[in-house]
């Protein structure tokens, strides 16, 4: 079944969601030997499963805020602790 599959890669990318596709693109640009693995029969199953109307960003240059809630950056535990 896998007789003709290359087994020597610089990078193995698991999942072809937005991050996986971005990683594959960057690997290609840099000339890395990579393989992109996807469990489904189509690319980017993550986006197929998003709720209808979800904003999908091409890059993080703009992030639409959905609420007026403000909080500072930090570790998960610290942020959640402030909310308790």
> pTM, whole model, 2 decimals?
0.59
Which of 29-33, 39-43, 58-62 is modeled with the greatest confidence?
A: 29-33
H/E segment holding residue 8: none
Q: Where are the alpha helices (DSSP H) in the chain?
A: 18-29, 45-49, 76-83
Instruction: Give the pLDDT score at 66.
Output: 66
Cα dihedral 43→31→13→5 (10° resolution): 80
Mean pLDDT of the chain: 81
**Would you say 41 and 66 are in contact if contact means Cβ atoms under 8 Å apart?**
no
């Amino acid at each position: 079944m896998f007789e003709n599959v290359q087994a020597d890669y610089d990078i193995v990318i698991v999942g072809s969601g937005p991050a996986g596709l971005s990683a594959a693109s960057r690997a290609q640009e840099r000339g890395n030997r990579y393989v992109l693995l996807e469990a489904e029969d189509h690319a980017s199953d993550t986006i197929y499963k998003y709720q209808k109307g979800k904003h999908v960003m091409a890059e993080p240059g703009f992030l639409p805020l959905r609420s007026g809630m403000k909080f500072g950056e930090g570790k998960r535990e610290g942020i959640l602790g402030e909310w308790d």
